[in-house]
Amino acid sequence: MKYITKTVWILSIVSLLTDTASEMLYPIMPIYLKTIGFSIVLIGILEGVAEATAGLSKGYFGKLSDNSRKRVPFVQLGYAFSAISKPMMAVFVFPLWIFFARTIDRFGKGIRTGARDAILSDEATPETKGKIFGFHRSMDTFGAVLGPALALTYLYFYPEDYKTLFFIAFIPGLLAVLASFYLKDKKAVQEKIKVSTPFFSFLKYWKVSPPAYRKLVVGLLLFTLFNSSDVFLILKAKQSGLEDTMVIGIYIFYNLVYALFAFPVGILADKIGLKTIFIIGLGFFAVVYFGMAVNTNLYLFFGLFFLYGVYAAATEGISKAWISNITDKKDTATAIGTFSGLQSICTMLASSLTGLIWFNFGATAAFLTTGTVTLLVIIYFFTIPKPTTFSNNTN
């Protein structure tokens, strides 16, 4: 564990606290939105717009972080935005205001993501990227276990009192902001470079990025285009007759699996290859979506969410480790931010498309479509060479 530095620990604790706040609300979000009049289509559009906002801002602020040679201020501001958005969701109940509050939350994620991941990359070597990103994802996801567990406990005593949860979620969010002030930029990073950074300037990185980066991102974006928000998995479980507490329980179970597997999977990825682990993860994802298309059995839901947790552990941190290994160190935040920006546009389309397919043809058609496309994406990834470290990346 000597490769887990103080900075990695602080970032991981900050992420744990923030995820505790966010995930306290995530499993009850679709239920809450339906109680205030949101349709399934509107929920899909809301999630898509929110993710697109996060993605575009990830690209811009990632580029801005690289240009300014600053990391920590972006991390601190991003977590602050996410914290203040929590009580806003309870105060503003009209659709337009809900869109605004949800967008503020995702905007905060956009501000911090590129800079945070660049810090993680700087704290690792090419041989320990899987471990570092895996450890961070593991700690982050433990927050997704604690958050829903707190929500479940509260709803047990105060059924359907969703609004109060939004105020309670502000507490761990605020603690995360305070913890982020223990982070310090490295001296080498503090040297400023005055460069104009237009909002869409990060898109220019695509032309100058390594060919390996472009080929990888194309595959990731194709997968994302049909990988909608987890909200639809929660709605499918709810639609199958599960009570609110059981839905939250299954979501806690999924995140527990994710948290427990992320770090060991990262260690395994450093040994057998990031590409191999990533493809295995996509395989699990396909199984989950084909299963979701036909399943109504409680016990099988637990099995599918178990596999979904393993999929997340094998892909989310691994993809960022892969990107950081094939790009120049000075462009890490831009590379991850650019991918995240394009990814979130695809996520917006995916969530909106899934909502429309579900509304017009039913849940089965929505899940079968995603599962089938995932199989094609797996074939594509088999054509990508195993990742090699970028020659100028001196992490």
In tens, the pLDDT along 269-305 reads: 888 888 999 999 999 999 999 998 888 777 788 889 9
Contacts of 123 (CB under 8 A, 6+ apart): 5, 7, 8, 132
Q: Is position 308 within any domain?
A: yes
Q: Is position 201 within any domain?
A: no
- Domain containing 127 equals 6-184+207-382
pLDDT (0 to 100) of residue 58:
81
Chain Cα centroid distance, residue 133: 13
Q: Is position 192 within any domain?
A: no
We report the CATH number of the domain holding residue 279 as: 1.20.1250.20
Q: Is position 393 within any domain?
A: no
pLDDT (0 to 100) of residue 254:
87
Which portions of the chain are predicted below pLDDT 50?
189-190, 391, 394-395
pLDDT (0 to 100) of residue 285:
95
pLDDT (0 to 100) of residue 314:
92
Q: Which residues of 170-201 are buried (b: 16+ CB within 10 A; e: fewer)?
A: bbbbbbbbebbeebeeeeebeeeeeeeeeeeb
Q: Domain tally for the chain?
A: 1
Residue 343: CB atoms within 10 A of its CB come to 26
* Cα–Cα distance for residue pair 324/123, rounded to 1 Å: 12
Q: Is position 394 within any domain?
A: no
Best CA proximity match to 331, nearest among 95, 67, 19: 67
Q: Is position 88 within any domain?
A: yes
Q: Is position 61 within any domain?
A: yes
* Cα–Cα distance for residue pair 50/365, rounded to 1 Å: 24
Q: Is position 196 within any domain?
A: no
